[in-house]
Amino acid sequence: QTNQEIIEMMPEFQKSSVRIKNLTRVEEVICGLIKGGAAKLQIITDFDMTFSRFSYKGKRCPTCHNSIDNCQLVTDECRKKLSQLKKKYYAIEVDPVLTVEEKYPYMVEWYTKSHGLLGQQALPKAKLKEIVAESDLQQHSIPVFIFSAGIGDVLEEVIRQAGVYHPNVKVVSNFMDFDETGVNFRSCLI
């Protein structure tokens, strides 16, 4: 089969929402993936709004942080502070005028402050299943690495509840340390 025939067999490429600048290059890459087979494939992806949806039926879907921010186990005062942080820093995150370098210190500041607030909530790890369930987040041994600046413990629980947390899936993210008094974030910030 030619590269063009393989592309034509994939209905995803026929959708009106798909735009391809260089069809020849896309065909070459996809055919290379197919010819290389599963043994030579490794997937690296983000989670929030990549694996998870951005919106569903016109409503914005929560990120990993939003799942915890909005759960019943977080105090109203904490939720209010987290909302204020989001209002301030999300505008910076999506500002098309600022460069990544200009945004970076603000994003670190946002995550550091948010993680500090969440760490004060003493959330037990056993409650993560409940937190993810109450939020509305929805085999070829190919390695799948999910890199996320979100909360790794929440990502893992979402993936478990979706029934797709297989041995080939590895989450690299911000993980919480749980003890008898609650939770704190590990020092490395992603």
With CA atoms as reference, report the closest residue to 186 among 175, 178, 172: 175
Q: What DSSP string describes 18-69?
A: ---S-HHHHHHHHHHHHHH-GGG--EEE--TTTTS-SEETTEEPP-HHHHHH
| 190 and 65 Cβ atoms separated by less than 8 Å | no
Distance CA 33, CA 40 (A): 8
State the Rg of the chain over Cα: 20
| 168 and 144 Cβ atoms separated by less than 8 Å | yes
Q: Tokens 């500090």 label which residue?
A: 116
Q: What are phi and psi of 186, to 5 degrees?
A: -65, 155
177 is catalytic: no
Per the residue annotation, which of 48, 69, 95, 153 is the catalytic one? 48
Distance CA 83, CA 62 (A): 13
48 is catalytic: yes
Active centre residues (catalytic) = 46, 48
